[in-house]
Chain A
Amino acid sequence: NAGVTQTPKFRILKIGQSMTLQCTQDMNHNYMYWYRQDPGMGLKLIYYSVGAGITDKGEVPNGYNVSRSTTEDFPLRLELAAPSQTSVYFCATSGGLGGAEAFFGQGTRLTVV
């Protein structure tokens, strides 16, 4: 099993461009999360989903959009990229039971210039 797969691993965007960060999981987990991590900082929750068709905002949703049409996929869309969105983005999944741990993808390093 691949677990949680994020693509691309690295990307450089120009200001104003758009892109989609892909996240797919083969763990059949209901719960999926998107975080951003700025240098030397912790994880900030952008959006999360408790199942297909259901998404909710986290701590820092502005400038991002998500969709969850299937259990496996949870893409994160950046519209009109800004330098403030330069960060490492992590996708995570959880089996959903209260104490169930979250598993992370390897991250996408995004630079907006």
Chain B
Amino acid sequence: RKEVEQDPGPFNVPEGATVAFNCTYSNSASQSFFWYRQDCRKEPKLLMSVYSSGNEDGRFTAQLNRASQYISLLIRDSKLSDSATYLCGDKAAGNKLTFGGGTRVLVKP
């Protein structure tokens, strides 16, 4: 079983709509979680860290559900510029940082 799994999508989202997707992780001892954004042919860049209490950054909200071992990302009022691949990262003990396969989001006018 993969350590981190994501729905590959694509999620086709009308501009202005809300989209949400999850990432499941298999290691119950995982300590830290992240959402990264990756544009085509570019390196991943941190979108936000995911805290136990959940966190919000503008139109983006991340949640962690330890009982069910998943994290989520919600994007409100989607912009065309939100089109990208979103990678879920899981940092386990020993600082081993693994990623899921990514979820592709396409925001359309």
A: which residues have CB within 8 A of B?
A: 31, 33, 35, 40-45, 48, 50, 56, 58-59, 90, 92, 94, 96, 98-99, 101-102, 104-107
Contacts and interface: CB of A to CB of B under 8 A. Distances in A.
A33 B100 CA distance: 15
Contacts of B6: 42
How many chain B residues sit at the interface, stated as a range, is 20 to 34
B102 A42 contact: yes
A48 B31 contact: no
B32 A98 contact: yes
B100 to A, nearest CB: 5
A105 B42 CA distance: 9
Contacts of A31: 95, 97
A94 B95 contact: yes
Given A35-B99, A104-B43, A104-B44, A99 B49 contact: yes
Interface of B: 3, 6, 8, 31-32, 34, 42-46, 49, 51, 87, 89, 91, 94-102
Contacts of B100: 42
Given A42-B99, A56-B96, A98-B31, 8 more contacts: A31-B95, A42-B102, A43-B44, A48-B96, A50-B94, A59-B3, A98-B91, A101-B34
